[in-house]
A and B are shown apart, each in its own frame.
Chain A
Amino acid sequence: MSSDSTMSTGGTMKKTRRMKLPAPNAIVGGTLITLLLLTAGTGALWTPYDPLKLSFREKLAAPSALHWLGTDEFGRDVLSRLMAGAATSVWISILTVTLAVIMGTTIGLFSGYMRGWTDRIIMAFNDALLAFPGILLALGLLAVVGANKYGIIVALGIAYTPSVARVVRGTVLSLREREFIAASRVMGNSEGFTMARHILPNCIAPLTVLATSMFGYVLLAESALSFLGLGVPPPAPTWGNMLAGSRPYIGQAVWLGIFPGLAISLTLLGINLLGDAVRDRLDPRMRGSR
């Protein structure tokens, strides 16, 4: 009965769908992420002050008209450092997630499609990696590849690959049993085409959700690594090492900790909201059902 009623209203549904405003989570998430990208973009090109310039006369100055977000223990402008840090952090996170998604999807697709012993061996290895907390694995890898910007990307990228591989493999396994995959084979489509046309697109919804939440984790992990002193080496600013540097002065200069912390939290919130909205948008079944 429900299917019949959707049918008769099918035409009008299409119209209202186009006119509808985006969901509230898309608006809030989108605004936050746009702000972040703007900040990062601007930060890469221009900052109010040189983020590395020391000025001992102005050290630990409270927020003022000159320094909107105050200065740190070396008199460096917090706003400038936050902007420059955003560029570094976002760039690292984007590259890391891209790396993890590409490697994980390849492994997951291959493993899930081959099944049998290939799958078992790959997944045994994968699960062994998955058993380590991501940050611990990244720490170990960083020791090997060296603590710098690209070291972090490689280390975190590898650390987050197993979870992507797991999710993709699981999706592939369940998709494989669906009749539309059999239908594609009966049509005469090659295995590669079937994977690209039918299996991969149907993995996109879980992948988007995973990638967005991972973006948040990676941002956090990068901050944590920098906080521990293993990330991007000082004096280059990142949100993580700014947070770390604020610790001794938290009593006298709260702004040192609050602003980087706020930046991280708002970014994570924005990413999660946007991730949900993107997933709903990508799934034709969710369209218009809101």
Chain B
Amino acid sequence: MTKTAPLLDVAGLTLKIGGSGRTVVNDVSFQVFPGEIVGIVGESGSGKTLAARAVMGFIPPAVRLEGGTIRFDGQDVMAMDGKALRTMRGSRVGMVFQEPMTSLNPSMLIGRQLDEGLALHRKLDASQRRALILDMLKRVGLRDPEGALTAYPHQFSGGMRQRIMLASVMLLKPALLLADEPTTALDAVVQRDVMELMVELTQANDTAVLLISHDLGMVARYCSRIVVMCQGDVVEQGLSDDILARPQHPYTRKLLSAMPHRLPARALPEVKTPIVAVRDLIVEYPGRQGFFRKEQAKRALHGISIDVQPGEVVAVVGGSGSGKTTLGQSIAGLVKPAGGEIRFNGKPIEKSDAAYWDYRLNCQMVFQDPYSSLDPRMTIQQLVAEPLRLVPNMSPADRKARVAEVLTEVGLGEGFAERYPHELSGGQRQRIAIARAIVRRPSFVIADEPVSALDVTVRAQVLELFDELQKKHGFSCLFISHDLGVVEQVADRVIVMQDGRIVEEGPRDDIFDNPRHPYTQKLLAAVPGLESTAEGGVRLFWRRAENDKAITG
């Protein structure tokens, strides 16, 4: 390997929570060499973030250091005093956080925020600093660096903010960059752009990177070595290709198998009437109405037409702002369209119509955020039973039996009936949300990003459950997601949306193997393709978008 001494050497790091004495990081050792990119992968609760923060000397007050050493450039971080720590932070070690919305101070101009670190750590005068900042902002791809200096963070999108954050950290040319889930809050395409930029900048400055993420695919793409953590322990570490192709630890195998993979295409029976037919759907969000002026309405959907056949799973994919959620909400009746028509079982949806009730009872929805979609004051029993209230001719005993049946179907069992949502984990809550959606045995389910708030392995379980239920009950589904990996696993047909328009649509295999529209190609280039290897691992391959800049590394 590298001949030089490691830049960061963590040995036997053990952290415990003060009160309970629970071990949250257990005997963790890893090294980072100069200029190298190392990834720490794990799910929530794996201790990856704590381990990384300890490197900076940031340990929450409730957490105690039990043992181990952290050496940065030969110096013991734990033995450093306040002044030495402050010099190390920022100047030698930079950090990029997960939330671009909160990691920049909202009440400070971008220029001043960037200047802060430089003024503190470098002996330069104001004009030199300004020149450096402008140069850096240009390099991270801001169109108008001069203007950005006097702008506030809220004037930029999430991706742009993360670029600015990166700029502020890289200005000081640190020897090590800690990136804690730097792109998790961004959509796939933006995520890839930011990662490429990060790799490019750090390589140019010979900065080592410690990348912390739950996304094994992304880590494998950019890191030379991977450390896999599970519940405070390092279960496996090694070269990226080895870990992927020949995973040794069962947990790594579990993580790998949780990566979405394509199942063989299904043959669906030919049917005449689509269950849902949308024609030229237009949705507008009204502009702000002031006393003197009325802003123009913003058009979210520009005439969308789609059909969903009985039993079919149609995925709608696109970045944020593509209108995919609006499409789902208008079919669910939550958003009133400005034009166009939605037909359910061949009949237009209109209130106070017999057909309307057929639609209302048969069209259900699973929401993205399982923490917000369940009424916190109701028990699981009440939550799942609520949709049955409107089903005609159902006795209380029947209802109770149906709820028990559905709870068993989603893998929770009756024991959960008397609990409240806050007593459940995210995955269990999403199972409840699915149970609530299918308890009436609907013929059509809209799932809006149903798994994007979940951990990798939980996501795989919920997806599997969803797939199982879909096959068992045969409901049609509109599956809305920004994650093409997930879509590849569940969809029969894929619709790609951009800026409120459909740019491409077709059977899943066609879209994934032979994308025609540049935006589809760009989306696909952001997610890994998988090939299983003989050793129980996988090999990743990356699709290239046409007229795409060459990928560094």
Contact = CB atoms under 8 A, between A and B. Distances in A.
Given A10-B423, A178-B372, A188 B361 contact: yes
B368 A183 contact: no
B436 interface: yes
Given A3-B424, A188-B360, A188-B390, A179 B372 contact: yes
A179 B420 contact: no
Contacts of A13: 423
B367 A3 contact: no
B377 A202 contact: yes
Contacts of A128: none
Interface string B393-429: 0000000000000000000000000011011111010
A186 B423 contact: no
Nearest to B427: A3
A9 B419 CA distance: 13
A189 B425 CA distance: 27
Nearest to B231: A1
B373 A183 contact: yes
A188 B357 contact: yes
A3 B419 CA distance: 14
Contacts of A186: 332-334, 363-365
A182 interface: yes
Given A186-B333, A188-B360, A179 B424 contact: no
A197 B378 CA distance: 10
Interface of A: prevailing SS: helix
Interface string B427-442: 0100001001000000
Interface in A207-249: none
Contacts of B428: 7
Nearest to B419: A10
B117 interface: no
Interface in A254-290: 284-285
Contacts of B386: 184, 187, 189, 197
A183 B333 CA distance: 11
Interface residues of A, number: 25
Given A3-B424, A10-B423, A285 B376 contact: yes
Interface string A1-13: 1111011001001
B303 interface: no
Given A188-B360, A202-B375, A182 B424 contact: no
A198 interface: yes
Interface string A124-155: 00000000000000000000000000000000
Contacts of B334: 182, 185-186
Given A182-B334, A183-B436, A186-B332, A3 B425 contact: yes
B532 interface: no
A4 B374 CA distance: 19
Contact of A187 (B369, B390, B423): B390
Contacts of B423: 6-7, 10, 13
Contacts of A206: none
Given A7-B424, A188-B357, A284 B377 contact: yes
A22 interface: no
A7 B419 CA distance: 10
A189 B390 contact: yes
Contact of B420 (A2, A178, A201, A284): A284
Interface in B329-365: 329, 332-334, 357, 360-361, 363-365
B45 interface: yes
B238 interface: no
A180 interface: yes
A202 B376 contact: yes
B373 A7 contact: no
Given A3-B426, A4-B425, A179 B376 contact: no
B389 to A, nearest CB: 8
Contacts of B420: 284-285
A1 B45 contact: yes
Contacts of B375: 180, 184, 198, 201-202
Contacts of A198: 375
Given A180-B373, A182-B332, A186-B334, 11 more contacts: A3-B425, A179-B367, A179-B369, A180-B372, A180-B374, A182-B367, A183-B365, A184-B375, A189-B389, A202-B377, A284-B422
Interface of B: 44-45, 231, 329, 332-334, 357, 360-361, 363-365, 367-369, 372-377, 386-387, 389-390, 419-420, 422-426, 428, 433, 436
5 contacts: A4-B45, A179-B369, A180-B375, A187-B390, A285-B376
